[in-house]
Amino acid sequence: MNGNAILLLPMIFPILAGFIIGFQKEEKQRNTLVFIAMALETALVWFLCMGDYTLEAYRFTERLTIAYHTDGLAKLFACLISTIWLLAAVFAMEYMKHEHKPARFFMFYTFSIGALMSLCFAQNMMTLYLSYEFMTILTVPLVIHTGTPEAVRAGMKYLGYSIFGAGLGLLGFFFLNTYCETTTFIAGGTLNMTMVNGRENMMLVVFFLMAVGFGCKAGMFPLHAWLPTAHPVAPSPASAVLSGIITKGGVIAIIRVTYYLFGADFLRGTWAQYAVLTLAVITIFMGSMLAYKEKLLKKRLAYSTVSNVSYVVFGLMLLSPVGFMGALLQVVFHAIAKNILFLCAGAIIYKTGKTFVYEYKGLGKEMPIVMWTFAFASLSLIGIPPTSGFVSKWYLAQGGLAPEIGALGMTGVVILMVSALLTAGYLLPIVTDAFFPGKDYDYGSLKKKEPNLLMTVPLVLLSVAVVLFGIMPTPLTEIITNISGMIF
Amino acid sequence: MNAFATLLPVIFPIIAGIALLPVKFKSRKQREMWVLSIVVLNAVFALYAIFGAGSPYVTLFTFNSKLSLALHVDGLSKVFGTMVSILWIITTIYAFEYMTHEGHEDRFFAFFIMTFGVVIGIAFAANFLTLYLFYEFLTLATLPLVMHQFDNKARHAGKTYVIYMMFGASLAFIGFVFIYCFGTTTDFVMGGVLNRNLVAGNEDVLRLVFVMAFFGFGVKAAVFPFWRWLPKASVAPTPVTALLHAVAVVKSGVFAIIRLIYYSFGTSFLIGTWAQNVVLIAAAITIVFGSTVALRTPHVKRRFAYSTVSNLSYIVFGVALMTPAGLGAGLLHMVYHAVIKITLFFTAGAILYKTHREYLYEMEGFGRLMPITFATMTIAGLGLIGVPPFAGFHSKWALATAAVNSGNPVAYIGIGALIISALLTALYIFYIVVRAYFPREKTYPEGYYDHVSDPNKYMTVPLVLLAIVSVIIGIFPEPLINFLNNVALGIL
């Protein structure tokens, strides 16, 4: 152990807390504990992100160490993730009343944040890979929580795809271990150019495989198929964080590999860059299209995630500061908006049991707060100002239109626009149906179904964030400029 | 004196086992005491021979200048001998409880003890003839264990077992003859013993012979296409499947392959040739094939047997890289896999012993009722997949790094196989675990959960011990890695 041991706390604490929570039979007591644990965790992470900490926690062998560091990227992701995790936990306290075995759910929910923090703060490839595997394994019980055969199948599919994706990442790691100076993340890349010399193409293949592998978690084509199966079967708070947060685990890995190991300069203008860009563009279009055709709301949202997270990959693969800015903004905004949408879907299921989009007529009158937040999140996802989604789209489009990317960037931007249109097509009708059920709607049957504060408060807070970031993106863009200043 | 110390762990259990054959013990307690003391005593002898007695070269009998029976402890013997000795004790304790439901324990333990000596004989063999001799003995000594139940299934399995083993040994014998003719000696010397003057002009013939001998020894190591006996042999009592078919027998095959490549033909003669590529590809095919079939097998013990098929070829793959790093990685996986797979078989055995259930769909919902069994299965499973920091990650890491560094494009295929196999491993292990913790049905027919509980301490203590060992060697891999790398470099 070498460095600031305090940096180990955000990983260890949730593991300990999770065990305690897992054995609480009494609901009130458990909920209090969950809240305290999550709040403490969030406070701890925010506190750590104020400072600069480094820790070499453990050394397996010469090249394999567990090491953590709070660099700019880690701070951004860690703060975002821990905060949303806290809000979704509050929502889950109410939601899990109608599911069985809530203690087990909260136990794994608490464990998972430990793995995620480990992933955010990871300073080298070994730590990243370790956290990545644990993130998968600890979230599988969330997916199969309901225990139905369908859920178990979905869970196994999730597990299989994730392990295979991580395996491709590991494959790259084997090569990088030989062809990099070090597998510690260093802004700008660590490739050993004298060794790589003459083997550029092999290294590009390796990069491509790693991007596809880690892209699996981000729902990128061709390893996307698990996502629309696994996300909807989980209890809604879990779907929310799986879709909003866990997919970003793949994004972190891709950023680390692209900018901190290979380095943007090595990849710029190569076939590997264009190949991954193409995959991202395909995914964007395909996801939106499938979402448009889907009638089950949670599944529709899952397809939407497939599409939206590939916006991020698209931005990252532009390998320009503007694209990077757009990508990271999209990470934040999509995480917030998609959490709202899934939590709304959860609130609707919890109160009315309705799951199909055509059943939602008049819901706006029955649960106005829920549907209003749904509307805001939809606007953000489509990218209509003044909601935050507009800002990220703006940068993404600007990056895509940069002359050096050429026709592919242009196509990407066109697809972005088409996808925005499709997004409007699959989200707005739900909102309009909910608020304007039509003339022949029986208003007499309306009942007040607004859920209680445990559910509405997280929703409202997240919606405020959606709008606030849209109006005042400057603090966030400054942080991201600082990060990208290091790597370009 | 030191010569005798080397001989003792080979001879003592064989004699003791034969002496036990006619004995009818009065009570279980008495038998357990005798068997355990013999096994522990012999493990002590073996460890003393390995670490205490220096490394004398003991010639037992000389036929001619090139043929003799001789024992010798070198680095490779140390690795194999130590591993076997420690695991034999744990398995014996487990077997005491388990065998109460199989019956005929007197006969079982007599052969079980004999096999210990034979395996140590393989580990200590100093030349090809001695290795070959003990290799054949191993087949004969384990046959009664495989056929233990003597029903039709067991008899059929035994027949398959013998046919495969004899066929493999005969192929290996061809290799032996050629080493005898073209080598300067039949002793095992790091770097190989081929006489370059004699070899000149006959390279391709010799490489062909190498490939034949490789597949010959590969029968015991269940290399594709000679894997079929192993899943069949899982009809044997669980301690046998666990120890013999996950550790002793199959790893004797791997051990013999190492002797063949590194100590007889020599890596410099084979590296970069078509012979190496054939061997690498065979290993890569077996890796994926074993895992694929494991995933499709609902019978838990057979599923683990197929998993063994796959994992043995991880070792063979490392060995076939023909670099010191590759050999070190292969040996590392040999140790890790031994610990992990024994744990897995023991968990399957615990379930079988308590409930007589053999298929994974009959074990749904057992997770909570057999907490120790399934916790250890999960830990071992994570190791088998290669999730850091559990055991199994480091060996996979070492294997792949060695493959990358070898620079051989055929070896890259093997890396791909490792990755695909990791995926399949995750599925076939977690399918059992997930089903156990998340049963498909809310209620099961009456009697479904009868007798479902953790077995007594004879079975759980070995399980927990093994799980702890697997975690420890995963978290502190460095001493082991350094030791094995020294072995691979021929320093030890």
Q: Which residues of chain A have pLDDT under 50?
A: none
A50 is written with which tokens?
């104020």
Kindly report the pTM of this predicted structure. Answer: 0.88
A430 is written with which tokens?
């739900």
- Determine whether the interchain pair B475/A60 forms a contact, defined as Cβ–Cβ distance below 8 Å: yes
- Determine whether the interchain pair A174/B388 forms a contact, defined as Cβ–Cβ distance below 8 Å: no
Rg (CA), chain A: 22
**Chain A residues touching chain B at CB-CB below 8 Å:** 58, 60-61, 64, 66, 126, 129-130, 133-134, 137, 140-141, 144, 147-149, 151-152, 155-156, 159-160, 163-164, 167-168, 170-171, 174-175, 177-178
pLDDT tens, B205-222?
889 999 999 999 988 888
A257 is written with which tokens?
């590999």
- The pLDDT, as a whole number, for residue B33 is 87
- Determine whether the interchain pair A167/B431 forms a contact, defined as Cβ–Cβ distance below 8 Å: no
Query: Which band of pLDDT confidence, cut at 50, 70 and 90, is reported for residue B239?
Result: confident
Interface subset of B 443-482, CB within 8 angstroms of A: 475, 477-478, 481
* Residue from B434, B473, B478 to probe the interface with A (highest A Cβ count within 10 Å): B434
- Determine whether the interchain pair A167/B423 forms a contact, defined as Cβ–Cβ distance below 8 Å: yes
- Once rounded to an integer, what is the mean pLDDT over residues B434-459? 78
Query: Which band of pLDDT confidence, cut at 50, 70 and 90, is reported for residue B223?
Result: confident
Kindly list the distances between the CA atom of residue B431 and the CA atoms of A235, B297, B435, in Å, as whole numbers in the listed order.
21, 11, 6
- Strand-pairing partners, residue B71, are B58, B125
Closest CA to A297 of A359, A355, A234, A362: A355
- Once rounded to an integer, what is the mean pLDDT over residues B78-97? 87
Rg (CA), chain B: 22
What is the residue type of A101? Answer: K
Closest CA to A297 of A348, A253, A335: A348
Q: Is B191 left (phi over 0), alpha (psi -120 to 50) or beta?
A: left
Length of chain B in terms of residues written:
492
ipTM above 0.90, yes or no: no
Residue B391 has pLDDT above 90, yes or no: no
pLDDT tens, A280-311?
999 999 999 999 998 888 899 999 999 999 99
The DSSP H or E segment spanning A226 is: helix A226-233
A chain contacts of residue B365, beta-carbon cutoff 8 Å: none
Closest CA to B403 of A124, A171, A64, A61: A171
- The pLDDT, as a whole number, for residue B158 is 86
Span of B57-66, B123-132, B175-184 with lowest mean pLDDT? B57-66
B245: CB partners within 8 A, 6+ apart = B230, B233, B234, B236, B305, B308
Distance from CA of B278 to the nearest CA of A (A): 23
Distance from CA of A28 to the nearest CA of B (A): 25
The DSSP H or E segment spanning A54 is: strand A54-59
> What is the rounded (10 degree) CA torsion for A156, A160, A163, A169?
-150
Nearest by CB: A129 against B388, B427, B430: B388
- Determine whether the interchain pair A171/B416 forms a contact, defined as Cβ–Cβ distance below 8 Å: yes
A225 is written with which tokens?
């198929």
CB-CB contact of B245 with B236 (8 Å): yes
- Strand-pairing partners, residue A65, are A59
- Determine whether the interchain pair A163/B385 forms a contact, defined as Cβ–Cβ distance below 8 Å: yes
Distance from CA of B235 to the nearest CA of A (A): 29
Using CB atoms within 10 A of its CB, is residue B367 exposed (0-12), middle (13-18) or buried (19+)?
A: buried
- Determine whether the interchain pair B389/A130 forms a contact, defined as Cβ–Cβ distance below 8 Å: yes
Using CB atoms within 10 A of its CB, is residue B321 exposed (0-12), middle (13-18) or buried (19+)?
A: buried
Question: Per 3-state DSSP, what percentage of chain A is helix, strand, and coil (rounded to 5)?
Answer: 80, 5, 20
Kindly list the distances between the CA atom of residue A260 and the CA atoms of A120, A311, A479, in Å, as whole numbers in the listed order.
14, 20, 18
Question: What distance in Å separates the CA atoms of residue A279 and residue A283, rounded to the nearest whole number?
Answer: 6
Query: Which band of pLDDT confidence, cut at 50, 70 and 90, is reported for residue B53?
Result: low
> What is the rounded (10 degree) CA torsion for A451, A454, A456, A462?
-150
Any CB–CB contact under 8 A between B430 and chain A? yes
Question: What distance in Å separates the CA atoms of residue A219 and residue A120, rounded to the nearest whole number?
Answer: 19
- The pLDDT, as a whole number, for residue B181 is 87
Nearest CA in chain B to A167: B419
Nearest by CB: B419 against A126, A156, A167: A167
**How is residue A154 annotated by DSSP?**
H
pLDDT tens, A443-462?
777 777 778 888 888 889 99
Residue B1 has pLDDT above 70, yes or no: no
